[in-house]
Every structure is written in structure tokens, then in C-alpha cells.
Chain A
């Protein structure tokens, strides 16, 4: 049997009604291993105005580089209490925030290891389908050999790398249009 995927539609402006019950901004409760990070940022549109009705979802491996998913067949342990999924809904200023741990490296194409990263899915009014992007970590030597970052034009790579804002604090913004437009992927 061969079917075709259902057409995507916008999340619309009233996403909070359906999605607020499962806001997860703290992914790593006490006891979860790994380097703790606080990731904060803001979403702005083509006029530089904050987007106050976006859902930002992140997906990541644990500190060992293992996803809490049956599809990850690596012989590495999953960690109790760490699902690796987060959801933040932007506030009036377009801000979102997560507390999590820096993930380990996971395999990429041809068995090459990827640099630590978060997969980011973005929904909002005005998007008929989600945007998909990634966040990489600053001061990470593995970024230089990451097979996905390597596909991004060098002058745009910086939009995918969070900026250090103090001990354990990272800033990463989503710029929908204009100079410094965030790199989004055709997924």
C-alpha cells in the first residue's frame, strides 16, 4: 500500500489551548547526568518584531549520545527521567527557554559522529508547516567536522551555533527573515 502524508496546516494563533498542558522547559531534573545548560532566545519576524505565538520544540540525545527512542539501536544506556523532549511557547517578547544538558555525540551519515546538537521544530501562525533547524554548542571542536553543519554555507553556520552568555547560559535566536536569517532545513 502506498499512501500520501496528510497535508500540513498552520498551528494558528490559539496553540496554547492545545499545547500548553505539555510545556516542558526543564528537561533534566536532578540526577540526570551531563553538563547543565540554560538555553534562552527569542523569535523575530521579517520586521524584527517578536513572535509571541510560536511553539519551539527540542529533541536531543542524553549525555552519552543515546536517544530515548526504540529507533536508536546503539548499545548505550537510556537514562531514567530523561526523555530528551522539550516544548516552550513564546511569551509577549517572543522569548523561549529551556534547561537541559549538553547531549553527547550521535552517529551521522557514513558512521561519522555528529557534533552535540539539539533538533529544533518551530510552529507558529503564518507557517503552514513547521520549520526545522538545529542548535550547536559554542567552543565545541567537533563542530568543525560535523557532517550536517558542513552542508550549510560557511557564512551562515553561525546562525546555528548558540552564544555563550555566562556560566552554563546560552543564547540562540530564531530570525525568520533578513540579514542573519536562521538556517532552516528541508527535512
Chain B
């Protein structure tokens, strides 16, 4: 059997380090011993396969999971899941969760003095289609305070969890909103020094998916790691950059 091609290692400064003291919780949780470089064997190059049986038709609409409608501004969040080689990835399980419009999570640990919304649980799922596209209907989450430092506030965000074709493409990230004044003060958003990489975490307002008299559209494309290409293919790509 031929050795399968490994996945590309991260570009410098586009992925966070474990220890990032501005985000205080990393201090007691980041490993201190050196990491061992893992070759990409069959165990790393494979991943669980999900199907339409795993998600319900209604899982993508966070505004219709309860008796009534949630409070807040309805939004459509959609985009494509691609790999680093630009290939759309179908069948990717996308899981999202978020705070409600007032900036409160439906979770016992969240004690922020903002109202819970009985009509909003804040979780959704989608399996990307043949073009790697996903789409959620939800409400715009609120900003909320946290205890990382004095007067710390998280910018509005939606958590995204994705499975790709390999265990090493597994990604959990957060999507932000354009123009949020809290972004530059947020230790999570600013956890990498590459400014372009940060900015790719910000969704863009999108007329195409905006629904007249109903909901604004935001677009958020997600790129999962891609496989190394053969040296012949790779070289011109790298010199172009």
C-alpha cells in the first residue's frame, strides 16, 4: 500500500499556542512538556463518517426549536467548508452553540445577570451538502462579561465545531461579527499574531443570503487543513505567495 499523503502543518502564527497568558485559563491547562511530533498514520488520516441520519431536518433552525420564537434579531449564518487546497468538503458535521440575544447561555455555569430566553436553547447542527455548504437560521448573540480581567467582555460570537475527513482536520472555532468594537480587546480573537488569520474569523454581511423583511445574512467560510500536495504541484503555489 502506498503511504498516504500527510496533512499540512499549520502556517506560522495562524494557529494559537497552548500557553497564552492573556487568556488566563491557559496558564494551568497548557502542557509544559515538549509535544511529540506525530506522523500522520492511518489513525490520523481517518475520521468518523456522519450521515443524514445523524442530523434532523430542523436542527439547523435555532429559532424553531420551542413553542414560541426567541427574542432578538434573526440572522442567517451560512458558508462553505473547504480544505486548504480549495476543495469543498461535503458531509462535514457542523455543530454550533451560542448565547441568546441578551448575552446569556442556557447553561448552569453562566450566572451573568441577563435574562434566559425560554424559546432559545442555542444549539444547532448541519451536515454540509455536496458543495460543502452549510446554513443556519438563528438570532444574533449578545456580548457578555467574563472574569478573565477587569471589565472583560466577549465580543458577540458563535461557537463552531467541525469534523473533516481526518482526525487531524477536527476544528473548533468561533465566528465573530463585522465591526464589533470588542474584538481588539478579546484575548481569544487576538490569540494569533497573523492579522489576516484573525480577520478570517469575522463573518461578512451578505446581501445574497439576506431574506427580505425577515433576516440579515452573514457569511462565514471555514477552511480545514488540506493534504500536502506532491512536490511538483506544491512548488509553484508556494513561490506565488
Name the residue among A18, A69, A123, A152 with the largest chain B CB count within 10 angstroms: A18
Measured in the bound complex, the distance between the Cα atoms of B23 and A123 in whole Å is 15
Q: Which residues of A contact B43 (CB under 8 A)?
A: 59, 61, 67, 106, 114, 117, 119, 134
A106 touches B41 (CB 8 A): yes
A123 touches B37 (CB 8 A): no
Which B residues from 26 to 80 make CB contacts under 8 A with A? 26-33, 35-49, 54
Minimum distance in angstroms from B48 CB to a CB of chain A: 4
B38 touches A132 (CB 8 A): yes
Contact of B197 among A7, A47, A109, A131 (CB under 8 A): A7
Q: Which residues of A contact B107 (CB under 8 A)?
A: 13-14, 16-17
B96 touches A128 (CB 8 A): no
Q: Which residues of B contact A16 (CB under 8 A)?
A: 107
A164 contacts the other chain (Cβ, under 8 Å)? no
Q: Which residues of B contact A30 (CB under 8 A)?
A: none
Minimum distance in angstroms from A156 CB to a CB of chain B: 7
A128 touches B28 (CB 8 A): no
Minimum distance in angstroms from B129 CB to a CB of chain A: 18
Interface 9-mer from B9-17, B177-185, B208-216: B9-17
A5-B224 contact, Cβ under 8 Å, with A114-B41, A185-B37 = yes
B16 touches A184 (CB 8 A): no
B41 touches A185 (CB 8 A): no
B29 touches A124 (CB 8 A): yes
Q: Which residues of B contact A19 (CB under 8 A)?
A: 95, 97, 161
B223 touches A119 (CB 8 A): no
- We find that the number of chain A residues with CB closer than 8 angstroms to chain B is 77
Q: Which residues of A contact B41 (CB under 8 A)?
A: 106-109, 114, 147-148
B14 touches A4 (CB 8 A): yes
- We find that the number of chain B residues with CB closer than 8 angstroms to chain A is 83
A18-B159 contact, Cβ under 8 Å, with A129-B18, A177-B32 = yes
B206 contacts the other chain (Cβ, under 8 Å)? no
Name the residue among B25, B36, B200 with the largest chain A CB count within 10 angstroms: B36
A119 touches B85 (CB 8 A): no
B188 touches A2 (CB 8 A): no
Name the residue among B30, B45, B99, B222 with the largest chain A CB count within 10 angstroms: B30
3 interchain residue pairs of minimum CB distance? A18-B97, A1-B86, A126-B25
Interface on A for B, CB 8 Å cutoff? 1-19, 21-22, 45-47, 49, 51, 53, 57, 59, 61, 67-74, 83-85, 106-111, 114, 117, 119, 121, 123-132, 134, 147-148, 151-152, 156, 176-178, 181-187
Q: What are 24 A-B residue pairs whose CB atoms fall within 8 Å in the complex?
A: A4-B197, A4-B223, A6-B201, A6-B222, A6-B224, A7-B198, A8-B15, A8-B16, A10-B25, A13-B109, A14-B110, A17-B122, A46-B27, A59-B43, A69-B165, A73-B1, A74-B1, A85-B48, A106-B41, A106-B42, A126-B25, A128-B188, A132-B167, A151-B37
